[in-house]
């Protein structure tokens, strides 16, 4: 199995056994993004330098034996509706095209503390209002199984990135299907947790009484 085809569980085992480094996997995925993202348009922003720095830090934690999280060193993507400290958060809108938040969303902070590696911010329908990821300032996201078809939405970029092996997992946000529907369109796993189970702090709201952050992964 190629590195980019691994699941979180499979990669965690390889990292824990020091069969591969997080930096090696991260560089491999960044290379895939540079080759495929122009066609698929899954990512709005790619954070190469930050990702490599996080990967080296994760490798140090793993070498020291103090990495207990199964996400330590795992490269993933963040939907561009969640605040990321020092990295622009556009919501796929011209209004926030250059907005750089000074803080992380709580879910992002917890992933960062767990040692996850952030490859970048994924494409979406503007302000998460849509179901095809065609309504983005940065252009439509394509379905990796057939670029003539949509990836679903509004978390289409996240679902596309996972399905195309451009990350091991990604975050999405779901108001009325925005995780589950693109996951189905792209043939990956998407879950909308029970409302309130995951903090919404730092998530740019579509409908605060319905929005929920959840994962998109390759397997259950």
Q: 14, 79, 121, 218: which is the annotated catalytic residue?
A: 79
Q: 21, 173, 178, 218: which is the annotated catalytic residue?
A: 178
178 catalytic? Reply is yes
Q: 21, 131, 154, 173: which is the annotated catalytic residue?
A: 154
Best CA proximity match to 47, nearest among 14, 3, 85, 7:
85
Q: Which alpha helices (DSSP H) does 65-132 contain, by range? A: 106-113
84 DSSP 8-state letter: B
φ, ψ of residue 174 to 5 degrees: the values are -130, 120
Q: Tokens for 158? A: 């996240």
154 catalytic? Reply is yes
Q: How much of the chain is helix, strand and coil, in % rounded to 5?
A: 35, 20, 45
Helix (H, G, I), strand (E, B) or coil at 131: coil
93 catalytic? Reply is no
Helix (H, G, I), strand (E, B) or coil at 60: helix
CA distances from residue 68 to 15, 62, 136, 213 in whole angstroms, order as listed: 12, 9, 38, 23
Which sequence positions are flagged as catalytic? 79, 154, 178
């Amino acid at each position: 199995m190629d590195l980019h085809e691994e699941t979180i569980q499979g990669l965690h085992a390889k990292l824990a056994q020091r069969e591969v480094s997080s930096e090696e996997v991260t560089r491999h995925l960044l290379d895939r993004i540079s080759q495929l993202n122009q066609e698929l348009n899954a990512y709005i922003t790619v954070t190469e330098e930050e990702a490599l720095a996080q990967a080296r830090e994760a490798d140090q934690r793993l070498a020291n034996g103090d990495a207990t999280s199964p996400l330590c060193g795992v490269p993933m993507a963040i939907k561009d509706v969640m605040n990321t400290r020092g990295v622009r958060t556009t919501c796929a809108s011209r209004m926030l095209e250059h907005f750089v938040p000074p803080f992380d969303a709580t879910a992002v902070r917890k992933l960062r503390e767990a040692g996850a590696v952030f490859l970048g911010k994924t494409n979406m329908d503007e302000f998460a209002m849509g179901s095809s990821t065609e309504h983005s300032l940065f252009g439509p996201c394509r379905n990796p199984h057939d670029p003539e078809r949509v990836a679903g939405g509004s978390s289409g970029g996240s679902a596309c990135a996972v399905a195309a092996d451009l990350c091991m997992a990604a975050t999405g946000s779901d108001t009325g299907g925005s995780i589950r529907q693109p996951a189905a369109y792209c043939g990956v796993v998407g879950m909308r947790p029970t409302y309130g189970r995951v903090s919404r702090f730092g998530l740019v709201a579509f409908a605060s009484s319905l929005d929920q952050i959840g994962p998109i992964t390759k397997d259950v």
